[in-house]
């Protein structure tokens, strides 16, 4: 039986597996997909995210990541440009997740692909290939829910979000307009993020309230038509070439800290299973990686899941609180109009908002077994 069983091979699962294996732990990781695949994600690596990747020995720039140093906010006819307080990177999960899994396997992790998690009862896990167990179970299935003890965990938001993602090949003028920029477009009931990633492609990722989606039309062509009709945020779509046969989609997204666990819950919940930050802050990938570092640190210190949850909340709670407060403000038409008007007069505030919703620095100690050999 392995020291650790990790469910999910995304950023959180792959990073945790790599850290634990490098520290000498036996690790088994199960991943439902059989190979590289696309996931709902803005694919924006904040300064905290690529700092964590560097600690793992991964050079995102060498993988083709595109530098991003400006933010553009569009709401109706208003467009506001401001500098980011750091240089971010645009890199697809299709590439990044696979690199993490390759490094984990090279470090000794047993990787099982094409295995679906059907149900968890404590640290006993029923999968499509039979039951699995380990000394410690780390749940890192991202936004995908998992049945636990005969039922899925209840969410607190009745009007949850639906997420869409599509990669495009843009026209040359559109590429030039987007160079070095992450563009955030606000619309009724949601928002869309657009940026360049590796290979000259652009990633469009958006979320929309389920109630608003039913008004728009419920299918991707209707959503694209709505985006294209926006005064300043969708003109690029007219000449863009979609690179997927259909968008990647996911439903029932609920943001904020995950529902509270029982005090004796033995499972380490990583990434979005611990808490999902507002996408507009661009810190989701950083939070996933941070949860892996905290979990690995706790396990190497002999701490249990309750201690991990306490440490995770202490390090990520402020970011999640601020990010969700900002998202709630932008969802209110009157507050959104007032906020955009203020930002139009003082664009520098957009830079300050970007800085204020960052995840804090990771308090690493030199002796921790966290850095690539």
204-228 pLDDT, tens digit each: 999 999 999 999 987 899 999 999 9
67-118 pLDDT, tens digit each: 999 999 999 999 999 999 999 999 999 999 999 999 999 999 999 999 999 9
The pLDDT, as a whole number, for residue 154 is: 55
Contact 280, 163 (CB under 8 A): no
Mean pLDDT of the region 33-40: 94
The pLDDT, as a whole number, for residue 157 is: 64
Sorted by where each starts, the structural domains of the chain and their CATH numbers stand as 4-157+254-356 (3.50.50.60)
Mean pLDDT of the region 140-168: 80
As a whole-number percent, the residues of the chain with pLDDT over 70 amount to 95
339-357 pLDDT, tens digit each: 999 999 999 999 998 998 8
The pLDDT, as a whole number, for residue 365 is: 43
User: Would the pTM count as exceeding 0.85?
Assistant: yes
Mean pLDDT of the region 315-321: 91
Q: Reply yes or no on whether the pLDDT at 373 is more than 50.
A: no
Q: How far is CA 342 from the centre of its chain?
A: 29
- In terms of average pLDDT, the best of 94-98, 186-190, 316-320 is 94-98
The pLDDT, as a whole number, for residue 257 is: 84
The pLDDT, as a whole number, for residue 158 is: 73
Mean pLDDT of the residues in the chain? 91
The pLDDT, as a whole number, for residue 356 is: 87
Q: Reply yes or no on whether the pLDDT at 153 is more than 90.
A: no
In terms of C-beta distances under 8 Å and separation of at least 24 residues, what long-range contacts does 296-303 make, across chains too? Answer: 296/15, 296/16, 296/19, 296/20, 296/23, 296/370, 297/368, 297/370, 298/268, 299/4, 299/20, 299/25, 299/136, 299/268, 300/20, 300/23, 300/25, 300/368, 300/369
Secondary structure of residue 124 in the 3-state scheme = strand
The pLDDT, as a whole number, for residue 368 is: 46
């Amino acid at each position: 039986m392995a020291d650790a069983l990790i469910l999910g091979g995304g950023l959180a699962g792959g990073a945790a597996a790599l850290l634990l294996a490098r520290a000498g732990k036996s690790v088994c990781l199960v991943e439902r997909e059989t190979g590289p695949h696309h996931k709902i994600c803005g694919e924006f690596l904040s300064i905290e995210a690529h700092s964590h990747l560097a600690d793992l020995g991964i050079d995102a720039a060498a993988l083709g990541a595109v530098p991003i140093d400006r933010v553009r906010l569009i709401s109706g006819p208003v467009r506001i440009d401001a500098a980011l307080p750091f240089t971010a990177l645009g890199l697809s999960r299709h590439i990044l997740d696979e690199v993490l899994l390759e490094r984990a396997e090279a470090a000794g992790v047993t990787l099982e692909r094409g295995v679906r998690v059907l149900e968890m009862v404590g640290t006993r896990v029923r999968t499509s290939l039979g039951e699995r167990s380990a000394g410690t179970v780390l749940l890192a299935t991202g936004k995908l829910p998992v049945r636990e003890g005969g039922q899925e965990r209840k969410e607190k938001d009745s009007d949850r979000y639906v997420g869409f993602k599509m990669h495009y090949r843009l026209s040359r003028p559109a590429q030039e307009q987007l160079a070095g920029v992450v563009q955030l477009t606000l619309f009724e009931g949601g928002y869309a993020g657009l940026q360049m990633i590796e290979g000259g492609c652009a990633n469009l990722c958006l979320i929309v309230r389920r109630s608003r989606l039913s008004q728009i039309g419920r299918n991707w062509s209707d959503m694209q038509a709505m985006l294209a009709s926006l005064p300043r945020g969708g003109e690029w779509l007219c000449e863009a070439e979609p690179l997927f046969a259909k968008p990647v989609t996911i439903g029932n997204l609920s943001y904020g800290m995950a529902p509270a666990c029982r005090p004796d819950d033995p499972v380490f919940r990583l990434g979005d299973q611990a808490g999902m930050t507002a996408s507009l802050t661009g810190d989701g990938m950083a939070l996933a990686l941070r949860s892996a570092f905290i979990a690995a640190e706790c396990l190497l210190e002999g701490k249990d899941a309750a201690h991990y949850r306490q440490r995770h909340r202490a390090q990520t709670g402020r970011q999640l609180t601020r990010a969700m407060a900002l998202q709630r403000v932008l969802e209110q038409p009157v507050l959104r109009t007032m906020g955009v008007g203020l930002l139009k007069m003082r664009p520098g505030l957009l830079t300050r908002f970007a800085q204020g919703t960052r995840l804090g620095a990771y308090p690493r100690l030199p002796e921790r077994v966290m850095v690539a050999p």
